[in-house]
Structure 1
Amino acid sequence: MNTGVNTLDSTFSYHWKSEVLLTAEISLMKKILVPVDFSEHSEYALQVASQIAKQHDAGIIILHMLGLSEFVQANSEEEEEKEAKYYMNLAKEKIMDFTDKEYLADIPVEAIIQNYKIFDEVDEVAKEHHCDLVVMGSHGASGLSHLFVGSNTEKVVRTSEVPVLVIKQPHKDFKIKKIAFACDLQTENTAAYEKVMAFAKLFSAKLETVYVNTSGANYMGYADIEKKIANFTKALGEDVPIRVYNHHSVEKGIFNFCLEHKIDLLAITTHGKKGLAHFFSGSTAENVSNHAKIPVLTLKV
C-alpha cells in the first residue's frame, strides 16, 4: 500500500491495488464512491459497494470528511500545523484499519480524506473521479422522509448529480431482482426513469414504475391520471407500464407497494435544494421503518 500526504489544506489519499486487474469488459459501473464516518452503517454501505464492484468489475473510492476546523484549537500556526498532522495521521490509520476487510480483496480501492465537511464536495469528488454511483449508509428509522431530511445523507442526496444508493442494514448477499421507481409522473422525471431503467438492466432486474394516488384534496380521477401517464410516456418517447396505487399517504403508499410486490430496491427522485421534503408535502410521515430497510436509490432531477 502506497501512502502519501499532500499539503494540509488539500486532500490526503492513499491507493491500494490488488494484483487482479480490472477486465477489459465494457460495464456501466466502473467506479463507486463510498463516504464513510467509520460507523457500522458506513460499513454496511462499503459491504454493498464491494458486492456491486465484484459483480461489475468496478473500483471503489472511499471518502472520509475529516473536518479539521472542528478539531484544531491551537493558538500558534506551528501548533495548528502539528495538531492538524496528528488528526490527519489518525484518520489515515482509521482508514487503513477500516479497509482491512476480506470482502475488499481483489477490488481496486482508493481512499481520500477531505479536510472539511462540505457535503456538496461529495458530488465534486464523484464527478472528478468519474464515479457512476455513490453508496452511503444511513441510520434513519422513521420512514422515508426521516431517513433523509436533516441528516448528512440528505445533504449528500440533495447536492449529488451522481445517483446515491442509501443502505440502512447489512446485506450479506446483495441482489436486486425487482426495482420500484416511485414517480409523480412529471415530465421532468423522464431522465430519472431512463437512469433507473439503465440501473435495472445492469442488474438484470425488473422495473416497476408506480404512481401513488392519494385521497382527499390531492385525489385524481381516472381520466386525469390517464392524461398524466400519456404526457409522461410521450415525453419519454415510449410506452411503459405505470402502476397506480391508491393510498391516503404518498410515503406509506410507496412502502406498502414495495412490501406487497416484494421490491428489493426503491428508486426516487430529489429536486436539488428542496431535497426530498417536497415529495411528502401534504402527507403524513408515518413510522414505516420496517419497510424503509430496503435500499433506496435517489436521483437528482
Structure 2
Amino acid sequence: MKKILVPVDFSEYSEYALEAAASIAKSQNAEIIALHMMGLSEAVINKNESKEVYEAMYYLKLAQKRFEEFLDKDYLTNVNVTDTVYNYKNFNEINDVAKEHGADLIVMGSHGTSGLTEVFVGSNTEKVVRTSEIPVLVIKGNPKQFLLENVVFACDFEKESIRAYQKAMKLFKGFDTNVYLLHVNLPNERFRSTSEIEEKVREFLYQADLGNLDALDNVVYVADYSVEDGVFSYSNKINADAIALATHGRKGLAHFFFGSVGEDLANHSDIPVLTFRI
C-alpha cells in the first residue's frame, strides 16, 4: 500500500479517519492524501467579476489555513501527508480523485445512525462507499491505535463476490491479518442445509483461490435471524478490529449484498467497516 486518501471536512469524524489512516500509513510506510472539497458553485468559479474571484480565493485560503491547524497532530509525526483542495460538490467524484492520485484505500469518518429504523441514505460516506472502485474504510469513533489483526469478512459466497473477495485478501495479506470468512445462515428462503452451504463455500474458494482450499480452515458458519445480527454477534465475540463486506455499488437501498446489509453495518456498527466493490 502506497497511498491513502482521507476526505476531510475538518469535523471530529474526519479527524478519527485521519488518525486511523496515520496508523495504517506507519505500518505500511504509506503516504496520506488529505482531501477537502470546497463545493463552490460554478457561478463563483467561472465568473470574471472581481467579487466572485475574491470569494473563491478567500475560501481557498481559508481551507489552506484550516488544513495547517487540522494536520498539526502528534500522531502524524513521521507520516508523509499531502493536503489538496478540490471544488467538487458531489462526493461521488471522490472515486475519480482517488484514481487520479493512485490511492489504494479511502478512509472516511462517519457518525452513522443510532437506531435500527434510521437509514443513512444520501450521506457523503454512503455516496463514496456506493461509488468507489477502491476499498473504503469507514471509521465511526476515535480509533486510538487502529489495527487490522483480526477481521471478519462477511460473504454470501456467490460467484459475483469473487472479485471483491480477491481484492480483500490481497489487501489483508499486506497487513498479515487473520481473516475469518463468515457465512450467516437465515431461517427464511435463503436457508440451506449444512452440506449445501459447505459445498457452495468450497466451490467459491476453489474458484477464487485458483484451486487452493487452505482458506476453508478460516470459514465460520453462524445461524441468526438477520445477516446484520449474525455479523455483529460474531465480530463482537472475537473482538474483531474491522468488518469487511462486498458491495454492489447500486443506487438506492439495494446496493449492497443481501439488500441493505452493508449500509446497515456501515451505519450502525461501532466497529470499523471496510467495503470492497464487486
**Same fold? TM cut 0.5:** yes
Q: Distance in 2 between matches of 1:75 and 1:202?
A: 48
Say if 1:185 and 1:50 are closer, same or farther in 2 by CA, change over 3 A.
Answer: same
Residue 195 (structure 2) aligns with:
223
Residue 10 (structure 1) aligns with:
none
Question: What is the Cα-based RMSD across aligned positions, in Å?
Answer: 2.8
Q: Distance in 2 between matches of 1:288 and 1:110?
A: 27
Quick check: 1:198 aligned with 2:134? no
| 1:281 pairs with one of 256, 259, 267 | 259
Residue 80 (structure 1) aligns with:
52
Compute the displacement of 1:224 (Å): 2.7
Compute the displacement of 1:38 (Å): 0.5
Quick check: 1:292 aligned with 2:264? no
Compute the displacement of 1:62 (Å): 0.4
Q: Deviations over 1:138-182 (max 9, x none)?
A: 100337996754321010011111111110111222222211100
Residue 79 (structure 2) aligns with:
107
Write the letter of the residue equivalent to 2:257.
Answer: F
**Contact 2:151–2:243 (CA under 8 A) maintained in structure 1:** yes
**Contact 2:253–2:260 (CA under 8 A) maintained in structure 1:** no
Q: Deviations over 1:253-278 (max 9, x none)?
A: 11111011221111101112247744
Residue 248 (structure 2) aligns with:
271
| 1:150 pairs with one of 97, 101, 122 | 122
Compute the displacement of 1:116 (Å): 2.2
Say if 1:168 and 1:71 are closer, same or farther in 2 by CA, change over 3 A.
Answer: farther
| 3-state SS of paired residue (1:267) | strand
Say if 1:55 and 1:230 are closer, same or farther in 2 by CA, change over 3 A.
Answer: closer
Compute the displacement of 1:77 (Å): 2.6
| 1:247 pairs with one of 224, 227, 247 | 224
Q: Distance in 2 between matches of 1:48 and 1:137?
A: 9
Q: Distance in 1 between matches of 2:277 and 2:52?
A: 39
Gaps of 5+ in 2: none
Residues 39-54 of structure 1 correspond to what in structure 2 (within 5 A)? Answer: 39-54=11-26
Q: Distance in 2 between matches of 1:41 and 1:282?
A: 23
Number of equivalences:
271
| 3-state SS of paired residue (2:41) | helix
Gaps of 5+ in 1: 1-28
Q: Distance in 1 between matches of 2:169 and 2:253?
A: 21
Compute the displacement of 1:129 (Å): 1.2
TM-score, structure 1 as length reference: 0.81
Q: Distance in 1 between matches of 2:128 and 2:117?
A: 15
Compute the displacement of 1:85 (Å): 1.2
**Contact 2:22–2:75 (CA under 8 A) maintained in structure 1:** yes
Q: Distance in 1 between matches of 2:84 and 2:204?
A: 41
Residue 256 (structure 1) aligns with:
233
Identity, % of aligned positions: 47
Compute the displacement of 1:73 (Å): 11
Q: Distance in 2 between matches of 1:193 and 1:106?
A: 32
Q: Deviations over 1:49-93 (max 9, x none)?
A: 111111111111000111011995999832211211111111111
**Contact 1:143–1:287 (CA under 8 A) maintained in structure 2:** no
| 3-state SS of paired residue (1:116) | coil
Say if 1:73 and 1:234 are closer, same or farther in 2 by CA, change over 3 A.
Answer: closer
Residue 90 (structure 1) aligns with:
62
Say if 1:173 and 1:227 are closer, same or farther in 2 by CA, change over 3 A.
Answer: same
**Contact 1:252–1:288 (CA under 8 A) maintained in structure 2:** no
Say if 1:51 and 1:71 are closer, same or farther in 2 by CA, change over 3 A.
Answer: farther
| 3-state SS of paired residue (1:96) | helix
